[in-house]
A = this chain, B = another copy of it.
């Protein structure tokens, strides 16, 4: 690291996020020293966003900072973990201080909102890329994993599906700023809201959870595989935003909802006996929850309409995803 890079880190990253009593030594030494929460388990995740791959190279710097942390908080949310600390590796092509300051603002605002401290940082020169690691805590035995879905459980999702993928199309086409709906869709892409409170609330009732980063079909597929079960989804119940309905062609809705990544909603399974709790949870955490299907003993992922007729996915036209 050059002396000027050291100063840049000091200036923008040394006190990012919240102050926490469990941070004994933060940014600025060879490693941070942290006091784990006694009696709880540490949940640790990492996610890297590469410019031009995971976000447009011209995405606003503050949204890149926001998103890099958000996708990791989304992972912790999917485990039912309460976030505590994050580390950040930022690689930038040039030491553009305005860009770095805006990035730090986006990252820091979200960190403070969730009471997270940035405890380690690393600023390097190279192709634009951000790698964030987040750490949180969950009482032992109460974490949500991908392994617990059981036949008969309801499959649920938070929020709406496919918005971010559509937002990316609008952004790429230079149609981000057409109206309120287009701006909202692009915001869903650039500034995903990690469902942290929902994840914590689901500890009491969900049998499995995953966050939707690669699209519902693929991410639910991981749950089905890890749990050794299948699922039947009623595609007519997939929650779509009015903005998506406005901007996506009718025949693309299903493909968008099943395959669109980057939404960072949670997909989770709940035993029937707990379904009655979901309304209260949804209103408490301020997120819509929709029951979209049922876990089956096997058979991969089956898509049907409300009348049980098979559903077809846009041009691809297949009705089964192989979960194996």
Contact = CB atoms under 8 A, between A and B. Distances in A.
A78 interface: yes
Interface string A196-233: 00000000000001110010001000000010000000
A131 B91 CA distance: 10
B122 A87 contact: no
Copies of the polypeptide in the assembly? 2
A170 interface: no
Contact of A1 (B133, B143, B145, B214): B214
A33 B127 CA distance: 32
Given A87-B133, A127-B129, A31 B45 contact: yes
Interface stretch (A36-44, A243-251, A307-315): A36-44
B126 A52 contact: yes
> How would you classify the secondary structure of chain A's contact residues: helix, strand, loop or mixed?
strand
Interface stretch (A21-29, A107-115, A252-260, A289-297): A21-29
Contact of A121 (B35, B46, B143): B46
Given A34-B42, A125-B53, A129-B127, A29 B218 contact: no
Contact of A78 (B30, B48, B85, B134): B30
A126 B129 contact: yes
Given A36-B36, A46-B89, A124 B54 contact: yes
A200 to B, nearest CB: 14
A135 B44 contact: yes
A34 B44 contact: yes
Contact of A44 (B3, B38, B87): B87
A122 B53 contact: no
B50 A31 contact: no
15 contacts: A29-B79, A33-B43, A34-B43, A35-B41, A45-B120, A47-B122, A48-B91, A50-B124, A50-B127, A53-B125, A53-B126, A87-B133, A120-B133, A122-B131, A127-B129
Interface of A: 1, 3, 24-25, 28-36, 38, 41-48, 50-54, 74-76, 78-79, 81, 85, 87-89, 91, 119-122, 124-127, 129, 131, 133-136, 138, 140, 143, 145-147, 209-211, 214, 218, 226
